[in-house]
Amino acid sequence: MKLYHIHIFLMLLSRTKCCDAKVKETKKNVRRNVRRKTQDESKKPNILIILADDVGTSDIPYWGDNIVPMNNIQKLQSQGVTFMHAHASPLCAPSRYMLLSGNYPHRGYQKGGAWNFSAEQNQFIGDQKSIAEVLKDQFNYHTGMYGKWHLGGRVPDGGTYSNDRSRPLTCCDIDWEKPMEDGPNSIGFDESFYTMGGIQSAPYSFFRNEYLQTDVNNIKFWEEGTHTTVNNNGESIIGKEGEGDPEWDSTEYNVRLVKEVDDFLENHNTTDPFFLYVGLGQVHTPHSPPKFYTDGTPIAGTFEDPHLDLLYEMDLVVGSLMASVEDRGLMENTLVIFTSDNGSVWEGGYTIPMIMRYDGIIPTGENKTGLVGINDIYATLADFVGFDIPDGSAQDSISFADHAKSEGKASNRDFFGVWNWAGRVNSQAIRYGKYKYAMVFNDKNDEYLYDLSNDVREKRNLLRQSSDSVDELKIQMSTELRRLGFCPLDVEESFVIPYGPDRGKEVTCQYFKEDKTRCRSVHIGELNCNSICGRNNNLCMLYPKSSQCRDDHSFEFIRENGDTGTCGWLSERAFRKEKYCGRTEISNGCMATCKKCSKNILNTSVPSQPPYTSAPSQLLYTSVPSQPPYTSVPSQPPTSCWNKKQYKFPTHSGEKSCKWLCFKGKKRKIKRRQARYCKGDVSLSCCQACNAGPRCT
């Protein structure tokens, strides 16, 4: 990689600053959707969105090897447009929120997604409206949701909940004769048939229009492993033990959705348009293909691996769903989107397949190379249908309708940011042009900068050959990532409240300081004025300040003797920095002292606007893996073998304790947990569990 290429790239970036205001106004019009007419203003299109689960681009014949024949998906590609650089969020729940809300995941109720029902609410907050709700309210769409939900909900009125993941149906005082609240039907879906978490976790039961479909007197506790199915059409697999229906069968999940969609269309009044959102259960683990498809086509054992068998079944399911529409003569006016979430951690890991068909409106058999996100579907549908996006909704959605319809029309999206969560964020990245910047949250806060135009496998980290131009590019991209992200420092400039009771009012963080209840009703306050509103303060302390590169003068930490340390105390002696700066929370609290930033930007601040607004033609995106993040150092260091009772640490399934490390579950599970989590601060706080104290061995 020649450094003068970066220099030229930076010159191009700087030249775009003069156009900031014009571009911002253009973006505003794109996102807010000044209504555009469809081909026939009086006839709104039907919409079918098929969301596969854990399907990457390498699984689809066009992108990867043609190991599994996919006649139906290839037919769909030939009938529409394929987006070669489409992206989603890591993990299942955040991607689903992005699709239906048009927002990045951190604008929802839970920053890492709402995975199951609870005593609280679903992922939508404040004035946020789903695509289904807007279509129903503005144009009387008949709306249906079928399959994997993963957007949360609240237990029936009057019920309690204790977050027992294996016994969610019987753990608490819940009246399942009542409907669940804040499910699909509360955000715009007329009809629904769904599971909270697909096939991967309890409860292994369907809900219909918010009502549990399992007899509460006949709930079964399923053990991990393989189970014989009622219809003898394969082996149902339980990946995580838990409660559910006694006739639960993971092999028939997708086929049940096909039947439900067919029934929906059979009963649909064709005078109104429909919106169908189908969340497939496969090919997420556990991989349990049926022996035969509904037409007798063999599935299980057709290929060398069950994962490939399920990809084959997925293609047949797509064909069945398309046939349900075509057989009723509805396809001519139906917009179809096939896409997926994903979850690996290297380049292409967050790249998803996305295909769109809309006869007579978009071309056929074309490939588009512009950058698009799964959150952009919201604004794109607004353009095609002609609905107005409500205030507070789709704040991160940018329409790609023109990009889809017209040859030579570039994508309107310049950047795509992503944040990978495991209890809290553990890695993040941003894509702009041919460059990708990423950071992994570990003891060193490893940073990466790649030129993917000639390093798609991410083997050459440009930050290893530090130069002024490389450092500047890193700071520019990390600054933009912070602007897009969930945890900024309190902004000093004023900003306009986009929705809520004070919509349009120009305020500063002082507005929220005067009355902190405003933080709850105006989500923009929680994003812009974090330390005042008190949301995720600990997370913000850990969030890298490389774009500011300054010490947090309010930051304090506990030394081994119990005294308080600060950044100023650290800077007095070199050996202190050597001793403490390796700890994640200290390195991020004392950025300048610990020199976790570039040499040329000490004590600088973040520009109020991103330093560049246009992008080169090639746009891709991905992220990188990381170790699980851990919480802060305990206030008292261990002098004997003990477990700190109040200590909690994040895991892939929520916060856990030392007791969980010691006693919860079978011995082999406990050993696996200890091997995975007994590191750093966890070892200090869970000495007995991790065998880490002076008297433990």
**pLDDT digit string, tens, across residues 128-143:** 999 999 999 999 999 9
- pLDDT given at position 647: 79
Q: Is 280 within the bounds of a domain?
A: yes
With cut-offs at 50, 70 and 90, classify the pLDDT of residue 631.
very low
Q: Is 604 within the bounds of a domain?
A: no
Summarised one tens digit per residue, pLDDT across range 502-556 is 777 888 888 888 887 777 655 555 566 766 776 554 445 444 444 445 676 677 8
DSSP 660: H
- pLDDT given at position 531: 67
Determine the Cα–Cα distance for residues 643 and 636; give it in Å rounded to an integer: 12
Classify 342 in phi/psi space as left (phi over 0), alpha (psi -120 to 50) or beta. Answer: beta
Mean pLDDT across 585-601: 64
Q: What is the three-class DSSP state of 131?
A: helix
| H or E element, residue 140 | none
First to last CA, the chain: 51
Residue 607: pLDDT above 50? Answer: no
Count of Cβ atoms closer than 10 Å to residue 234 Cβ: 23
Nearest CA among 421, 344, 545 for reference residue 110: 421
Residue 570: pLDDT above 80? Answer: yes
Amino acid at 384: F
Instruction: Evaluate whether 144 touches 192 at the Cβ level (below 8 Å).
Output: yes
Instruction: Evaluate whether 192 touches 171 at the Cβ level (below 8 Å).
Output: no
Place of tokens 């203003």: 41
In the chain, count H helices and then E strands: 23, 27
Determine the Cα–Cα distance for residues 318 and 71; give it in Å rounded to an integer: 10
- pLDDT given at position 333: 97
Q: Which of 266-275, 330-339, 625-634 is predicted with the least confidence, judged by mean pLDDT?
A: 625-634
89: Cβ contacts below 8 Å, ≥ 6 apart: 95, 98, 104, 105, 341, 350, 374, 418, 419
Nearest CA among 338, 327, 332 for reference residue 276: 338
- pLDDT given at position 530: 67
Determine the Cα–Cα distance for residues 161 and 150; give it in Å rounded to an integer: 17
* Cα dihedral 191, 197, 198, 201 in deg (nearest 10): -140
- pLDDT given at position 538: 47
Greater confidence, 495 or 21? Answer: 495
160: Cβ contacts below 8 Å, ≥ 6 apart: 119, 172, 173, 174
| 133: CATH | 3.40.720.10
- pLDDT given at position 263: 98
Residue 197: pLDDT above 70? Answer: yes
Whole-model pTM: value is 0.71
Tokens representing 399 are: 């329409």
- pLDDT given at position 689: 82
650 is in which domain, residue-wise? 635-697
- pLDDT given at position 28: 38
Burial bucket for residue 563 (CB in 10 Å: 0-12, 13-18, 19+): exposed
Classify 539 in phi/psi space as left (phi over 0), alpha (psi -120 to 50) or beta. Answer: alpha
- pLDDT given at position 250: 96
Radius of gyration for the chain, computed over Cα atoms and rounded to the nearest angstrom: 26
Q: Is 640 within the bounds of a domain?
A: yes
With cut-offs at 50, 70 and 90, classify the pLDDT of residue 500.
low
Mean pLDDT across 357-373: 95
Mean pLDDT across 33-37: 36
Tokens representing 169 are: 């149906």
Q: Is 53 within the bounds of a domain?
A: yes
Q: Judging by DSSP bridges, how do beta strands 274-279 and 142-148 pair with one another?
A: parallel
- pLDDT given at position 343: 67
Q: Is 204 within the bounds of a domain?
A: yes
User: What's the total number of domains in the chain?
Assistant: 2
Burial bucket for residue 562 (CB in 10 Å: 0-12, 13-18, 19+): exposed
Give percent of the chain with pLDDT exceeding 70.
76
Q: Is 518 within the bounds of a domain?
A: no
- pLDDT given at position 418: 86
Determine the Cα–Cα distance for residues 269 and 124; give it in Å rounded to an integer: 29
Q: Is 417 within the bounds of a domain?
A: no
Mean pLDDT across 235-240: 93
Greater confidence, 152 or 602? Answer: 152
Summarised one tens digit per residue, pLDDT across range 433-469 is 788 888 887 777 788 898 988 987 788 999 988 788 8
Amino acid at 574: A
Amino acid at 228: T
Q: Is 544 within the bounds of a domain?
A: no
- pLDDT given at position 527: 63
Summarised one tens digit per residue, pLDDT across range 420-439 is 876 566 788 888 878 888 88
- pLDDT given at position 253: 96
When mean pLDDT is compared over 109-118, 228-237, 285-294, 569-578, the highest value belongs to: 285-294
- pLDDT given at position 594: 81
Classify 365 in phi/psi space as left (phi over 0), alpha (psi -120 to 50) or beta. Answer: left
With cut-offs at 50, 70 and 90, classify the pLDDT of residue 101.
very high
Mean pLDDT across 616-645: 39
Residue 405: pLDDT above 50? Answer: yes
Mean pLDDT across 373-387: 97
Strand segments (E) across 465-572: 495-496, 506-507, 557-558, 564-565
Tokens representing 85 are: 């650089």
With cut-offs at 50, 70 and 90, classify the pLDDT of residue 632.
very low
Strand segments (E) across 31-162: 46-52, 81-87, 117-118, 142-148, 153-154
